Structure 1
């Protein structure tokens, strides 16, 4: 994990992208270039002890002088957005780690992008990439009100390929208009609230769809049995009790591992599986990745047998 970029970055700019949405531009204090990234990537932002959040990068990947993130103020949230809005000021430093990407834009002749609320953030650089590649694309973008829909000025340059649909004006997004009768070779990228993603998943063929979730997807109920985990690099074997996660068991054994959300949504704790079959309970991996069993999110996933060997 030592190759993961981590640095104290400076808040170079604060600006509101919409009602309740604060955009932050982050730069290296010495003007150093930041790591390259591709559309769909996010970074971990360490806001304080036990307070770490993931935010999608929504700037231009070609501009390595700065990263931009956008944070929705969530009054009923767990404190991360309140900290950013109220305490992270111009010129302040904040520790940032990453980027990492589980939402990559795959090459295709045409795309249908669907965004809900703050879910526009990973989609923004995808639009520019699709445009540069000469692909045919459209964006359906919804939010509670027109005032709460972020980055509308940036989207104006795309003309009628972008449909902005405030819920208080038009109701729920008309998914049928986008997803029914998809032309051959079309990929669908969607990010936003859970109910929107669930509705899109019900309507769109799985082999066409790519989604990113900000909160865990409901998982089928499963029994938590006890199993052993051998840590190949550390030469240790730990027992994972029914009420303990693999992550907690590994950390209790004194082995350092990067983690963040502990909900199976961010991908920070993804670990290579050398032997055994994981029982996946994350909201990150695709069906194909789950079937391969090559990696697992150790904060939530478990074992389909009595033993796993992990590359830790």
Structure 2
């Protein structure tokens, strides 16, 4: 991650949430992105974290992300809130998009807390193309819900839990329709409730937390070959492919290391991966030509990776 961005603004947008505006120091054009995309930021303490882009995708000079302070997190949000200042630089990678907006005549967006961030550019795009859209936005309290000042359209329903209880999902969504796609981003309990309420709907979700997956296909050690150097390394049950590859000299970028962000996605040149991530689509898993080495393993004795 050699590219650098400078923090040009840091603004509180809710209790425990700050928005960062990022740009190149020389003002040069940034890579284009699409709604649902995220960037990987490497902070001054060496940690790398992913954040959804939530600004104006038509502005080539800056990115905007929002960061929720997570007291039980791994330190990235605390660094952003307490130490990162305007004028500081961060490394960045991407943008990447594992949560793309598919074409539809009608959209129903459901957000929980900081899950509003990837949905903001989706809503703007839906408005631009003339699609029918509506947003249901929940949070612990009104003060904790970011960007409500930007969401003044009557098609937005803001539901703070301390004022109105849980989101009225079934009544708000209505019956499934062929022309409608539902997008949801937020904490695991919300996603579970939406999945239950949207049987028969076309649903797209983005997860911040890991859901339970089946046990590994095999417990036996397997061999991983790093194609760029020819190095081979044995991966045992207590080691991830990512850890083994790094020990063998691979410089692989990663962020969540839980299979939820896609930062470490790697091309598989040979062998059969055992997919254990939260983001690859079924057709991507079936193709077997990529994997997330932070969590996924091998279903064959040998893997060759483009590392």
Q: TM-score range by the shorter chain?
A: over 0.9
Q: Deviations over 1:149-192 (max 9, x none)?
A: 11111111x22x11111011111112212444121121111111
| CA contact 1:224–1:243 (8 Å) conserved in 2 | no
Q: Is the 8 A contact 1:40 1:126 kept in 2?
A: yes
Given that 2:108 and 2:133 are in contact with CA atoms closer than 8 Å, whether structure 1 keeps it comes out as yes
- For residues 124-170 of structure 1, the C-alpha deviation after alignment (integer angstroms, 9 at most, x for no partner) is 000001111111111111000011111111111x22x1111101111
Aligned counterpart, 2:278: 283
- Does 2:180 match 1:211? no
Could you tell me whether the CA contact under 8 Å between 1:6 and 1:98 is conserved in 2?
A: no
Q: Which residue of 2 aligns with 1:185?
A: 179
**TM-score normalised according to structure 2 size:** 0.94
Q: Tell me the distance in 1 between the aligned counterparts of 2:196 and 2:300.
A: 31
Q: Which residue of 2 aligns with 1:90?
A: 86
Matched residue, 1:256: 251
State the alpha-carbon separation in 2 of the partners of residues 180 and 309 from structure 1: 48
Match of 1:36 in 2: 32
2:76 paired residue number:
80
SS in 1 for 2:151: helix
Q: Secondary structure at the match of 2:278?
A: coil
Change (3 A) 1:238 1:178: farther
The whole-number CA distance in structure 2 between the counterparts of 1:88 and 1:206 is 44
Q: Distance in 1 between matches of 2:174 and 2:235?
A: 45
Distance of 2:305 and 2:3 partners within structure 1: 28
**More deviation in 124-133 or 220-229?**
220-229
Aligned pair partner of 2:48 in 32, 38, 52: 52
Residue among 98, 102, 118 paired with 1:102: 98
Root mean square deviation of aligned Cα:
1.8
**In the alignment, which of 113, 116, 120 is matched to residue 117 of structure 1?**
113
Question: Please, which runs of 5 or more residues in structure 2 have no aligned partner?
Answer: none
Report deviation, 1:294. Answer: 2.5
Q: How many residue pairs end up in the alignment?
A: 306
Aligned counterpart, 2:290? 295
Q: Is the 8 A contact 1:112 1:178 kept in 2?
A: no
* Structural mapping, 1:106-255, within 5 Å: 106-156=102-152, 158-159=153-154, 161-205=155-199, 208-222=202-216, 224-255=219-250
TM-score (norm 1): 0.92
Which segment is superposed worse, 32-41 or 92-101? 92-101
- Distance across 2 between alignment mates of 1:277 and 1:210: 27
